Amino acid sequence: MNDELALAPYAARPAGSPGRKFAEPAPGSRSEFQRDRDRIIHCAAFRRLEYKTQVFVNHEGDLFRTRLTHTIEVAQIARSVARNLRLNEDLVEAISLAHDLGHTPFGHAGQDALNACMADYGGFEHNLQSLRVVDVLEERYGAFDGLNLMFETREGILKHCSAVNARTLGAIGQRFLDKKQPTLEAQLANLADEIAYNNHDIDDGLRSGLISEAQLAQIDLYARHRHQVEQAYPGISGRRAISETIRRMINALVVDLIDTSRERIRQVRLDSVDDVRNAPPLIAFSPAMQTQATLLKQFLRENLYRHYLVNRMTSKARRIVTDLFTAFMAEPGLLSPDYESRDGDTTSQVRKVADYIAGMTDRYAIREHRRIFMMDEL
Ligand code: MG
C-alpha cells in the first residue's frame, strides 16, 4: 500500500523512522519499506530458504512446505490483516519475508544443536542471526555490508532477544531492556507466522501420514471446521476435505485476529507509533481463539514434532551440525579462506564457523558432512 493517506495514524511510516544506518538518497518510484522488501527478495539468504527445512527435510517430498513457501504464506496472511487494520503493508511484507533468514539447516533441530555448540561463545539465536544476515553477512552493495534496511524492518526481524545480547545491540535491542513493544506491523508478522505454521503443519502432517484425521477429531478448531465442511459438502473426503477444512481454519484465525486487534486498538486510542511502543501488545487473538490455537500447537508438538520418524531426522540433523562444528573448530584449516578468521582470535573464528553452518541449506550440510568425514566424497 503506497497511499500514505490510507494508513492509520498508528501505522509505521518512513517519515517518522530513524531510517537506515547508512544514509541513502530517497527511492524514486517506491516507498522505503518497498525498497527493503525488494532488497530481501534479491539477497542470497532468501534463495537458500528454498532448501531449508520447515518440519520436513526438503528431499522427503516435493509438496511439503519449505522455509521459502512457509515465508511466502506468512507474508500473504500478514498483508491481508495489515490491509484490514490500515497498517503498512510494505513493512509487514518486508518483515515477513525476512523473518526466517537466519534459520540453520534442519529447522529447530539444527538451531538447538548450533546453540549448544556455541554455549561457551554467546550461544546462537536464530532471530539474532536473521538480523546479522541483513546487517552484516550479505555482501551485495558497494557502500556497506548487509542490506542497510530501515530501523522498523530490522526491529521486526529481531522478534526475540536475550537481555545479554540486547545490551550489545544499541537502539535495536533497547526495547527488550525497556520492555516496550515494536510496531504493530512487527507484532502482526509474528502472529501471521503462527497462523501459517499451525495450519500448514497440519496439512503436511496429514499428507505425510504421521498424523491422522481421527487424531485431529479431538482438536476443536479442526473438528468444528471439518464438521462444517461435511455439512456443506456431504460425503466429501480425502485431500479436498482437508484443504477445505484448513482454509476455513485460516480464515477463522485471520478474522478473529483482525476483529480482536481492531477492538484492542480502539480501546487504547493510538495517535502514533510512539503510542504503540508504550501500549501493551495489541495485535492478538481473542482469549477463546487463543486457547484453541494453543491446544492445536500442543497437539502438533506431541504428535508431529515428536513423532519417532521426525525424531530420527532430528537426531541425524543434530549429529551433522555438531560434527561439522567440532571439526571446523578443531581444524580451522578445513574451512575455505572466506570463513577463516584473519586475526586469529577464537571468538571471531567461532562466530565465522557458526555463520558458515547457519548459512548452509539442508542438502549442502549433508554434502559438506560427507566431504569432511567420508573418503569417497571430495
Ligand atoms: Mg517462521
Distance 171 CA to ligand 1 centre (A): 24
Task: In whole angstroms, give the CA distance from residue 39 to residue 59.
Answer: 28
**Helix, strand or coil, per DSSP, at residue 49:** helix
pLDDT, tens digit, 9 for 90 and up, residues 108-131: 899 999 999 999 999 999 999 999
Distance 125 CA to ligand 1 centre (A): 14
What's the angle, vertex CA 298, arms to CA 295 and CA 300, rounded to 5?
110
Distance 325 CA to ligand 1 centre (A): 24
| Structure-block grid coordinates of residue 376 | 569417497
- Phi, psi dihedral angles at 98 (to 5 degrees): -100, -5
Q: What is the pLDDT along the chain (378 residues), one digit of tens a residue?
A: 446 668 999 999 999 899 999 999 999 899 999 999 999 999 999 999 999 987 777 667 778 889 999 999 999 999 999 999 999 999 999 999 999 999 999 988 999 999 999 999 999 999 999 999 999 999 999 999 999 999 999 999 999 888 888 999 999 999 999 999 999 999 999 999 999 999 999 999 999 999 999 999 999 999 999 999 999 999 999 999 999 999 999 999 999 999 999 999 999 989 999 999 999 999 999 999 999 999 999 999 999 999 999 899 899 999 999 999 999 999 989 998 888 777 777 778 899 999 999 999 999 999 999 999 998 877
| DSSP output for 98-160 | HTTTTPPTTHHHHHHHHHHHTGGGT---HHHHHHHIIIII----SS-SS----HHHHHHH---
**DSSP run (H or E) holding 332:** none
What are the start-end ranges of the H helices in 269-361? Answer: 273-278, 287-300, 308-330, 346-359
Distance 334 CA to ligand 1 centre (A): 32
Distance 197 CA to ligand 1 centre (A): 7
Counting DSSP H helices and E strands in the chain, the numbers are: 18, 0
Distance 128 CA to ligand 1 centre (A): 14
The structural architecture, per CATH, of the domain 28-309 is Orthogonal Bundle (1.10)
pLDDT value, residue 283: 98
CB 236 within 8 A of CB 229: yes
Distance 158 CA to ligand 1 centre (A): 12
Provide long-range contacts, Cβ within 8 A and 24+ apart, for 168-172: 171/18, 172/131
| Structure-block grid coordinates of residue 98 | 525476512
pLDDT value, residue 23: 94
In the chain, where the domains are located? 28-309, 310-373
Distance 105 CA to ligand 1 centre (A): 13
Task: In whole angstroms, give the CA distance from residue 365 to residue 357.
Answer: 7
Distance 378 CA to ligand 1 centre (A): 34
Task: In whole angstroms, give the CA distance from residue 159 to residue 151.
Answer: 13
Distance 193 CA to ligand 1 centre (A): 5
| Structure-block grid coordinates of residue 276 | 504503540
Distance 127 CA to ligand 1 centre (A): 10
| Structure-block grid coordinates of residue 81 | 490483516
pLDDT value, residue 235: 96
Distance 92 CA to ligand 1 centre (A): 14
pLDDT value, residue 1: 45
Distance 251 CA to ligand 1 centre (A): 19
| Structure-block grid coordinates of residue 138 | 550479505
| Structure-block grid coordinates of residue 293 | 490455537
Distance 99 CA to ligand 1 centre (A): 6
Distance 111 CA to ligand 1 centre (A): 13
Closest CA to 105 of 267, 347, 314: 314
